Each structure stands twice: as C-alpha cells, then as structure tokens.
C-alpha cells in the first residue's frame, strides 16, 4: 500500500545529493532566553534524520520553525526548495507534521478527522475518501472509522495523528517523539511504518529522546544541547568517535557483591551492573579478558557469557553533550506529569 510515490521537489548540494531541508544560522530568541542558537544543517532527500537532545534543548522550537509554525528570530529554513517564512503555504503543502502530543479532534470520528485534514490540503473529494480508507486500513483503524477519536486509546490516537499527517502524500514527514509513552505494539508499528515510508522515498525528520530508536531508524543524527548543535553525522561515525573506551559485558552464575570486586581489577575504569550482567569499561579488551577469567577462577565463579560491546549511540551522546541519557527520559516524564497536573 505504501508503494505509491511520495514526490518532493529538491535542490542538490555540492555532493549532488538532493536536499530536502536546509537550515542556515537559525536562531530563536524568546525575550532573554535563547532557545535555538545559530544552528545550521541539511537533511538529504530520502533519509531519516534524527534530532536528539534532552528536554529544553531546542528540539521542538526547531521543528516548529522548520514547519512554519513559528518565525525564526534570524536565519533561514528551506523546505522542498521553498523558504518557510516567505513561501510558507507552498512549503507547508509538501510536509506532514506529527507533533509530540496527538492532536486529533476528540469530538469527531476517525473518518471525519482524516477528511478534515485532507480538506485543509485541498485533496480532491474522491481522492480524499480513497486516501482516508487506505490510511485507516493501514493503521488498523478502519473498523473504528465511525467512532469518536475521544474514545480511542493513546496508541490509536497516535496512529490517527500520523494518518492525518500522511493524507496529502507529503514528501517530507516531521515526527516529534512519535513513540513517546506508547505501548510496545504501537511503537513497533510506528517504527516499521517509518522505515516503510522511507523506503518509498519519504524524507523523515525525527526528534526522539529514545537513543536506541534513533540508532535503529536514522541514517544521520544531529545532537542538540542548550540550543546548539554539538554533532551531525552518521550514527556509526559518531560511535566510532568515542571508541577510546571499550566495554566488556560479562555474566557469572551469581551476582552478589561482585560490582566492587570487579572495579578493583586492573585495567577496569568503570563497572556498572545491568540486570545479571556487569559492564566493564576498559582501555584494552585483550588485556582485560584474561584478568576476568582469572577473577572468576579465584572467586569460584562460572562465566555464563562474556562479550565485547562496541560504543553505542548513547555513549556518543553522553560524550558529546556531557549529559546522561537518563536525563532525557526523566525530564520527559516530569514534563508529562506537570502537563497532566496542569
């Protein structure tokens, strides 16, 4: 069903790659607060581009500027060849936007929500009904098409929000935290859909605080912290840049009081316990592995498994931003609690 062509107008960069989004010296200031500080990057056509950063880093402000929902203080944004400020309508016609909070009309049925979205993009009447049916089927909502969206679960509302963003076959899709707070099944469905859309030529701009999600989906990621971009590259290149520490993950037949003892081992910089496994950050794995085997023998332990781990995107994120990845998750949860209390 997704084999239909999502076409998009593009310009080419110096490597003859088509550019879907071009951002130059973009800045947004709210009074004395500098939310986004002079950022520049490009997103190539047909790629999934991740935008990683903690809460308050400037992700949503950036996405709002990129989608023409708020004006930049300075700088330019070009989307599908169109300047988002000066040619706002044309730029918006070519993008689909899925905000962090699902924004369907609770009082309207799933069907009416999609038809209204299509009307705003002036999709022809016969085409809009065909598209609404296709998308509701794709998202497993067709049987519930006549039900009020207000009666839907969080995952169903999320799917309906994404369907509404796709009703006009956009060439570029902005996804702001698409799987945040969703059940496993809905999250998996959305990730698979993102991959399928991308295979069909849709450029995806994804903001997420799930680093693993960005690693799985994105061809390139930008890391933003305090309004500034600290790195833009392929996930593998970013991981390679922090390879000065190597990790050995080992599991013994028992776990009690081992973390402190392992930390005393030579070559071991840091030890963390993850479930029934221990992660040892070492400079040189070939020197450290024999020591771990000796350690097990001396303490009467059986090694259940031992693996070397490459640095993850999470490690790269920590290295580049100086923040712990838990900060992002915690801040998100706090934000949600505050919103629900408000």
Partner 1 sequence: MVRAWADSLIKAFYIAKKDAKVYYFKAPNFTYGLLIPVSLYLAFSMAGEISSKLIVAGLTSLVMLFGTTSIEAVAVVLEKQTGTFERLLAAPISLFTIVLGKALAGFFFGLILAAVVLFPLAAVSGTVVMNPLLAVIAIAFTSMAFSALGIIASAYAKWVPEAQMLSNFLRFPMVFLSGTFTALEALPSQLQVVARFLPLTYSVEALRSSIAEPAVTYPYILDIVALALFTIVLLALSTKILEKRIA
Q: Contact residues for partner 1 (CB under 8 A)?
A: 67-71, 88-90, 92-93, 95, 97, 99, 101-108, 112, 116-117, 119-122, 164
CB nearer to partner 1: pick between 88 and 285: 88
CB nearer to partner 1: pick between 39 and 164: 164
**What is the closest distance, in whole angstroms, from the C-beta atom of residue 255 to partner 1 in the complex?**
45
**What is the closest distance, in whole angstroms, from the C-beta atom of residue 47 to partner 1 in the complex?**
21
CB nearer to partner 1: pick between 157 and 281: 157
**What is the closest distance, in whole angstroms, from the C-beta atom of residue 36 to partner 1 in the complex?**
14
In this structure, what token pair is assigned to residue 247? 């990790």
**What is the closest distance, in whole angstroms, from the C-beta atom of residue 23 to partner 1 in the complex?**
17
CB nearer to partner 1: pick between 118 and 316: 118
**Residue 243: how many other CB atoms lie within 10 Å:** 11
**What is the closest distance, in whole angstroms, from the C-beta atom of residue 313 to partner 1 in the complex?**
29
In the sheet that 303-309 helps form, which strands lie side by side, from edge to edge? 268-274, 277-282, 246-252, 303-309
**What is the closest distance, in whole angstroms, from the C-beta atom of residue 115 to partner 1 in the complex?**
9
**What is the closest distance, in whole angstroms, from the C-beta atom of residue 105 to partner 1 in the complex?**
6
CB nearer to partner 1: pick between 116 and 267: 116
CB nearer to partner 1: pick between 109 and 226: 109
CB nearer to partner 1: pick between 83 and 112: 112
């Amino acid at each position: 069903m997704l084999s239909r062509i999502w076409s998009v107008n593009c310009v080419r960069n110096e490597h003859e790659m088509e550019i879907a989004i071009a951002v130059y010296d973009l800045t947004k200031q709210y009074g004395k607060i500098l939310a986004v500080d002079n950022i520049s990057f490009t997103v190539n056509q047909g790629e999934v581009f991740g935008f990683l950063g903690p809460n308050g880093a400037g992700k949503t402000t950036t996405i709002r500027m990129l989608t023409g929902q708020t004006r930049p203080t300075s700088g330019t944004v070009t989307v599908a060849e169109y300047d988002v400020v000066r040619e706002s309508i044309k730029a918006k016609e070519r993008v689909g936007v899925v905000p962090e909070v699902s924004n369907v009309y609770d009082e309207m049925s799933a069907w009416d929500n999609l038809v209204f979205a299509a009307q705003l993009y002036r999709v022809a009447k016969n085409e809009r009904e065909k598209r609404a049916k296709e998308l509701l089927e794709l998202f497993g909502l067709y049987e519930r098409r006549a039900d009020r969206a207000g009666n839907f679960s969080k995952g169903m509302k999320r799917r309906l929000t994404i369907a509404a963003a796709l009703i006009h076959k956009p060439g570029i899709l902005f996804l702001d935290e698409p799987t945040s707070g969703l059940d496993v099944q809905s999250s998996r469905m959305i990730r698979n859909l993102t991959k399928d859309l991308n295979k069909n030529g849709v450029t995806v701009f994804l903001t997420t605080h799930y680093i693993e999600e960005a690693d799985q989906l994105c061809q390139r990621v930008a890391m933003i912290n305090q309004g500034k971009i600290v790195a833009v590259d392929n996930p593998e290149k970013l991981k390679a840049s922090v390879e000065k520490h190597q990790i050995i993950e080992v599991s013994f037949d028992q776990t009690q009081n081992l973390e402190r003892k392992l930390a005393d081992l030579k070559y071991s910089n840091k030890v963390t316990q993850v479930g029934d496994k221990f992660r040892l950050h070492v400079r040189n794995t070939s020197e450290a592995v024999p020591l771990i085997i000796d350690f097990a023998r001396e303490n009467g332990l059986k090694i259940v498994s031992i693996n070397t781990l490459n640095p993850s995107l999470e490690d790269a994120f920590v290295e580049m931003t100086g923040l712990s990845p838990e900060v992002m998750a915690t801040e998100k949860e706090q934000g949600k609690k505050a919103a629900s209390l408000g």
